[in-house]
Amino acid sequence: MTTTKLFGSAGFDAFVSGFPGVTLLDQWESRVAKVGDKVFALIALNQGDNRITVKCSEESFEILTALDGIDQAPYFAKRKWVSITDGSPLKPEEIEHYVKRSYDLVAAGLTKKARTELGIVPLT
């Protein structure tokens, strides 16, 4: 079983707050992280439901959903969103990587003006 600081509201908040332009709010019985008003990650606040939901690439989606403890995220109509439980085989640094990658994917979809206003360095 993977245990990481991200599987807790305080650890999740501390990690995602390190990215430029992030706002946090409680929505859908979850702690939601947004960049430019677009969701990039959330953690369920239900006691006993330890899961983090993130956006990922199509390739990562196929790889991740083949692992125990990782499924297509419920309530997200589009593919490429996964729900990672604390029982997944991913190491803490791998989960952090996928949260950061989700941020990068969502931030890349913002306009150049919005990224500039949010202080996001040009994405490569």
Residue 7: the pLDDT is 77
For the chain, the average pLDDT equals 88
3-state helix, strand, coil in the chain (%, to 5): 30, 25, 45
Place of tokens 């991200």: 6
pLDDT digits (tens, 9 = 90+) for 2-45: 446 777 778 899 999 999 999 999 998 899 999 999 999 999 87
What does pTM read for this prediction? 0.89
- Per DSSP, 55 falls in state E
Whether the predicted pLDDT of 1 surpasses 60: no
Strand ranges inside 10-108, DSSP E: 22-27, 30-35, 38-44, 51-55, 70-72, 81-85
Please name the CATH architecture into which domain 9-115 falls: Alpha-Beta Complex (3.90)
Whether the predicted pLDDT of 68 surpasses 50: yes
**Domain-by-domain residue ranges, the chain?**
9-115
Return the structure tokens found at 22.
């992030």
Average the pLDDT over 71-96 and give the result: 89
Residue 48: the pLDDT is 67
pLDDT: is 60 or 3 the higher one? 60
pLDDT digits (tens, 9 = 90+) for 99-111: 999 999 999 999 9
